[in-house]
Amino acid sequence: MAKLLLQNGMLFEGISVGAEGTAYGEICFNTSMAGYQEILTDPSYAEQVIVMTYPEIGNYGINPDDFESSRVSARGFIIKNYCEHESHYKSSMNLSDYLKKNSIVGISGIDTRYLTMIIRESGVMNCVVTTGEITDEIRENLNNYSMSKDVALNVSRRQTDVIKQKNGIKLAVIDVGIKKSIIENLKALGCELTIFPGFVTAKEILNGKFDAVFISNGPGDPKDATTTINTVKNLVGKIPMFGICLGYQILCIVLGAKTYKLKYGHRGANHPVINLETNKVLITSQNHGYATLLESLPENVIPTYKNLDDQTLEGFRCPEYKIEAVQFHPEAAPGPTDANLILQDWIEDLKNEKKNRAGNFLKKMFCNLGQS
């Protein structure tokens, strides 16, 4: 047996499908029909307990290829029906064994759609999942629980990693919880990547003579990412930048906009956004609990995408400082690939700008030679 206790006092009982123990976290729901392996290993879920709204989970097991990081960042996993007999040619382990291996408490037999309705009506809240009894101590710990202020730095890498590629755009990547799929997408676009921890300084980046900076996804309240915010502030106007998810929110704050917590967040692989410049609709993968107030954007920042479900801002560009950002995930994983071209277009723009700079330099050099 396993139990789920919400901060509002509601108690659910189910069947344990993971490790034994007790875990506290912020409860949230994801509406994806597949991709539970990518969701569990997405660092943006750090210190959260994930509810899957799709009823059948575990049917294709766990495979070696679909991890988004080397560990599970989520605290707990709540599902309706657990499939004990997985079936997929790549599967190397069932979901229950994977949860046990990573010390994650999992519960099945929960009416996850009813639970989702509660979260939608009451908003996200803290919870505790346990394979033991709900004691007074557990209730007290739950009442006192709060997410770590430095959660993004907790999931960031500790050292700088370099991925060499010939003749590609040189990107400085700030890791505040980056997914493997983002790195793979940038590699596929021919970029040479220097991936820095979230505590990198602006001086380190500017000394590297990079073509641009990419700020990754990650967990937590963007206002708490003060170390990275200070770094990005000192980069504005000095180098082109692109942000995704938490990276987008950090750029919003740096440019003077205000962020706020959503009632229950956007988490799933079916979120429609509209391009405000072309009116084209994209179905996107999303995982965030915070948004940016549209009316707080400075005059030099142009909104580019809007969520069609709740009209929240989903993207912007700032031509003055050569900054672009989107709240959703162009790399998907899991989810549709409608937005894949966004990163490709940004890299192409960087290549064209680099080519133009080189051409202008040669023209200037030949002019100087002619004059001499």
Q: Taking the domains of the chain in order of start, what are their residue ranges?
A: 2-144, 151-352
Tokens of 107: 């519960």
Do the bridges between strand 2-6 and strand 125-130 make them parallel or antiparallel, or are there none, so unpaired?
A: antiparallel
Number of H helices, E strands in the chain: 10, 19
Please answer whether residues 251 and 229 qualify as being in contact, where contact means their C-beta atoms are separated by less than 8 angstroms: no
pLDDT score recorded for residue 372: 58
pLDDT score recorded for residue 355: 86
Those residues whose C-beta lies under 8 Å from the C-beta of residue 371, and which sit 6 or more positions away, are none
Tell me how far the alpha carbon of residue 293 is from its chain's centroid.
Answer: 19
Read off the pLDDT band of 276 (50, 70, 90).
very high
pLDDT score recorded for residue 365: 56
- Cα–Cα nearest to 178, from 192, 165, 160, 164: 160
The stretch 157-179 carries a mean pLDDT of 96
- Is the C-alpha dihedral spanning 198, 203, 208, 213 positive or negative? positive
Distance from C-alpha of 331 to C-alpha of 188, rounded to nearest angstrom: 11
In eight-state DSSP terms, residue 278 is T
- Catalytic residue, chosen from 127, 245, 252, 318, is 245
- Encode burial over 189-201: b for 16+ CB neighbours within 10 A, e otherwise: bebbbbbbbbbbe
Please tell me the class of the 2-144 domain: alpha beta
Indicate whether 368 pLDDT > 70: no
- Catalytic residue, chosen from 38, 68, 192, 331, is 331
Please answer whether residues 251 and 215 qualify as being in contact, where contact means their C-beta atoms are separated by less than 8 angstroms: yes
Tokens of 306: 């809007």
Those residues whose C-beta lies under 8 Å from the C-beta of residue 210, and which sit 6 or more positions away, are 170, 171, 172, 194, 239
Single-letter amino acid code for the residue at 65: D
- Catalytic residue, chosen from 266, 271, 288, 329, is 329
Please tell me the class of the 151-352 domain: alpha beta
Indicate whether 194 pLDDT > 90: yes
Distance from C-alpha of 31 to C-alpha of 52, rounded to nearest angstrom: 6
Q: What is the mean pLDDT of the chain?
A: 95
252 in catalytic set: no
The percentage of the chain sitting over the pLDDT mark of 90, rounded to a whole number, equals 94
**195 pairs with which residues across the strands?**
161, 173
What tens digit of pLDDT does each residue of 295-336 get? Answer: 999 999 999 999 999 999 999 999 999 999 999 999 999 999
Read off the pLDDT band of 358 (50, 70, 90).
low
